[in-house]
Amino acid sequence: MDIQQVWQFVFSLADVVEVPHHDKSSFRVRGKIFATVPPGEQFLHVVLDEDVARSVLSGGHESLEELWWGQRLYGVRLKLDGADQGLVETLLDASAVRLPNF
């Protein structure tokens, strides 16, 4: 999956806006960040509840790793090159619709 496909999918979701966030692009719904794209556009950070993140990470997807904010598991870091489009879209949809309480 490439970054253009990510952008296309993200903006198909309801109420999504893109806002700069430090050195990243961030996608938000009602002011809350649900995903960011670091410089280089090779990765996607998806904000998920800790339990959801652990469940997704236990699925053995090679493109995923833990995303931490301080001492809290904050979501998943996804390498876009070779990532399954269905997985990426499912994660983004889950994150945008059910925003974690951070």
Does residue 102 lie within any of the structural domains? no
pLDDT digits (tens, 9 = 90+) for 34-71: 999 999 999 999 999 999 999 999 998 999 999 999 99
pLDDT digits (tens, 9 = 90+) for 61-96: 999 999 999 999 999 999 999 899 999 999 999 998
CA 66/CA 9 separation, integer angstroms: 23
Across residues 5-23, what is the average pLDDT? Answer: 94
Across residues 28-38, what is the average pLDDT? Answer: 93
Query: Residue 51: CB partners within 8 Å, gap ≥ 6?
Result: none
Residue 41: which CATH number?
A: 3.90.1150.30
Predicted TM-score (pTM) of the model is 0.90
- Give the pair of three-digit tokens for residue 69: 């904010």
Residue type (1 letter), 89:
E
* pLDDT number for residue 99: 59
Residue type (1 letter), 98:
R
Does residue 72 lie within any of the structural domains? yes
Does residue 71 lie within any of the structural domains? yes
Domain span at 86 = 3-97
Cβ proximity of 56 and 67 under 8 Å: no
Domain count, the chain: 1
- Give the pair of three-digit tokens for residue 97: 């619709």
